[in-house]
């Protein structure tokens, strides 16, 4: 969770002990300086503050004199069903804490409070709140003429891709999203969730390579108190957090084989085994996996299990590269300009025709993410109302020889013959295959006959250039 999302977060602490409220407020000022902390001495005051302001997380004691925290929890969830609530409890009231979880609390922590653990729990709770808010915002962005949230492209290829996403979303099957870095795999996963019957349930995004290998199992599946040194309380894990909803395992090709075996069990049995648990636990989670890796090659070399690959590949979506949807570069550029203007609170800026020409001629190895970053930099460093080609920090010499994207020079220097030839050949092959598949509606056999290639040779080209024939089907 980034600092920007923390900076806009508000937490409410509810306890009948004034000294505890004051102490926690001081603690959070030091440990979570980006968070605004509000306090309430009882349940009624807490409910009033919830009505008055936008609270992202509530930290509340279960026992507050004559006030029953569980009753307040029920009333909170009547007002704000998705609000993240963490309950505080004494060692003698663990049964009450478990009851609070059943009644909708997100987690609990025991007294006396361990401040480092509490700060970590607050951060995780705020991240949950942030993701839920982001999902609501994505749903609100769906325009009548756009049936896929978060996407703005209008090219023919993207319209076909939207149909595939909508069909995939309603199926409920496991999904594998493939594509190069920067093509929007995470955005695609969120769109599938928002268009599915699980849209009101949690969406949990897991960046697998970002979690150390020795922690990945416990983070995914959770653990029981005492399962290992340092396991001082139960930890539900990310799969249980996503129960009823969707979990997206980003860059699944990078996870170790030992975790792959456990994921295979989840896919086959719809159950997880927590560390230290006596028996497995049933879950109801839709799994979406994404990767830019060559899973077939990893399967061949033994670093990715073949049975897991086929379990994941029930439905496969291939994200188009920006070169493949170059017709959308103007509308994407305008969208990113509008976004960065709102982020920075600046006046509107436009792209000059020369700047737009350079953007459309660039090869975009970093895909849509690279375009977004170029627009951000240009907006920031351009002090004029119109962004020209020199503000893009891209060389306008990246122009086409016989078609868009045939790169013959870099920063004014002529490329070596072999590199220039490969660039032209790549561009020609992409354009030829797109024309071919558009003509045949994605029918590979018919395309092979028209091109006078064998079906195997054509499929090899499709794999090499990461082109999915399904997106051309009508």
Q: What angle do CA 102, 249, 196 make, to 5 degrees?
A: 65
CATH code assigned to 3-135: 3.40.50.2300
Three-state DSSP state, 385: coil
Tokens of 105: 């609390």
Fold of 157-318: Rossmann fold (3.40.50)
The confidence score (pLDDT) of residue 397 equals 39
What pLDDT was estimated at residue 411? 43
Query: Which H/E stretch holds residue 190?
Result: helix 185-194
* d(C-alpha 386, C-alpha 27), whole Å: 47
- Whether the CB-CB separation of 135 and 128 falls below 8 Å is answered with no
pLDDT of residue 335: 92
| pLDDT value of position 440 | 84
Question: Tokens 């949690």 appear where?
Answer: 202
**Sequential pLDDT tens for the chain (474 residues):** 444 444 468 999 999 888 889 899 888 888 888 888 999 988 888 988 888 878 899 999 888 877 788 888 888 887 887 889 998 887 556 677 777 887 888 888 888 888 888 888 998 888 888 877 776 665 555 444 456 888 988 888 999 999 999 999 999 899 999 999 899 999 999 999 999 999 999 999 999 888 888 888 888 998 888 878 877 888 888 999 999 999 999 999 999 998 999 999 899 989 998 888 888 889 999 999 999 999 999 999 999 999 999 999 999 999 999 999 998 999 999 999 999 988 888 888 888 888 888 888 888 888 999 999 999 988 988 888 889 888 887 744 343 333 344 455 544 555 566 656 666 676 677 778 877 887 888 888 888 888 888 888 888 888 777 777 776 764
For 326-396, CATH number out of 1.10.8.60, 1.20.1300.10, 3.30.1510.10, 1.20.1070.10 equals 1.10.8.60
Beta strands in 140-208 (DSSP E): 175-178, 203-207
* Rg for the chain, CA atoms, rounded: 26
Same fold, 3-135 and 157-318: yes
- DSSP conformation class of 402: S
**pLDDT value of residue 423:** 61
Rounded-to-integer distance, Cα 43 and Cα 67, Å: 7
Per-residue model confidence (pLDDT) at position 416: 62
Residue 415 pLDDT: 56
What distance, in Å, lies between the first and last C-alpha atoms of the chain?
Answer: 40
Which pLDDT score is estimated for 140?
52
Q: How far apart are CA 224 and CA 39, in angstroms?
A: 32
Q: Which pTM was predicted?
A: 0.56
How many residues comprise the chain?
A: 474
Please state, in angstroms and rounded to a whole number, the distance separating the CA atoms of residues 3 and 33.
Answer: 10
- Domains of the chain, by residue range, sit at 3-135, 157-318, 326-396, 417-472
CB 344, CB 380: distance < 8 Å: yes
Residue pair 282/270 in contact (Cβ under 8 Å)? The answer is yes
């Amino acid at each position: 969770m980034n600092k920007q999302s923390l900076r806009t977060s508000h937490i409410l602490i509810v306890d009948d002990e004034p000294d505890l409220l004051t102490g926690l407020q001081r603690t959070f000022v030091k440990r979570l300086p980006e968070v605004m902390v509000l306090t309430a001495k009882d349940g009624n005051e807490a409910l009033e503050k919830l009505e008055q302001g936008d609270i992202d997380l509530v930290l509340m004691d279960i026992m507050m004199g004559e006030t029953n925290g569980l009753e307040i929890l029920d009333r909170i969830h009547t007002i704000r069903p998705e609000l993240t609530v963490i309950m505080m409890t004494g060692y003698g009231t663990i049964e009450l804490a478990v009851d609070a979880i059943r009644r909708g609390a997100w987690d609990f922590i025991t007294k006396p409070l361990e401040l480092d653990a509490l700060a970590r729990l607050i951060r995780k709770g705020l991240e949950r709140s942030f993701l839920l808010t982001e999902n609501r915002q994505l749903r609100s962005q769906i325009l009548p003429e756009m049936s896929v949230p978060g996407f703005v492209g209008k090219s023919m290829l993207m319209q076909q891709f939207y149909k595939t996403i909508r069909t995939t979303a309603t199926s409920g099957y496991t999904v594998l999203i493939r594509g190069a870095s920067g093509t929007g795999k995470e955005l695609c996963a969120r769109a599938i969730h928002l268009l599915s019957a699980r849209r009101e349930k949690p969406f949990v995004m897991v960046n697998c390579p970002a979690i150390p290998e020795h922690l990945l199992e416990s983070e995914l599946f959770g653990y029981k108190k005492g399962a290992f040194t340092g396991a001082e309380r139960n930890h539900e894990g990310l799969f249980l957090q996503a129960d009823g909803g969707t979990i997206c395992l980003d860059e699944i090709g990078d996870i170790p084989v030992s975790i792959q075996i456990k994921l295979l069990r989840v896919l086959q049995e719809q159950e997880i085994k927590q560390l230290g648990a006596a028996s497995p636990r049933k879950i109801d989670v839709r799994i979406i996996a994404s990767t830019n890796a060559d899973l077939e090659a990893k399967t061949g070399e033994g670093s990715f299990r073949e049975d897991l690959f086929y379990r994941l590949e029930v439905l496969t979506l291939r994200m188009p590269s920006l070169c493949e949807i170059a017709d959308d570069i103007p509308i994407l550029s305008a969208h990113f300009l509008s976004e960065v203007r709102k982020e920075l609170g600046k006046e509107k800026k436009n792209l000059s025709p020369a700047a737009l020409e350079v953007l459309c001629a660039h090869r975009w190895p970093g895909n849509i993410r690279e375009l977004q970053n170029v627009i951000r930099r240009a907006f920031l460093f351009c002090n004029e109302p119109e962004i020209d080609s020199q503000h893009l920090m891209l060389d306008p010499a990246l122009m086409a020889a016989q078609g868009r994207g045939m790169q013959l020079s870099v920063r004014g220097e002529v490329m070596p013959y072999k590199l220039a030839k490969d660039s032209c050949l790549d561009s020609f092959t992409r354009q030829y295959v797109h024309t071919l598949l558009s003509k045949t509606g994605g029918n590979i056999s018919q395309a092979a006959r028209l091109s006078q290639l064998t079906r195997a040779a054509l499929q090899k080209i499709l794999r090499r250039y990461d082109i999915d024939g399904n997106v051309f089907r009508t």
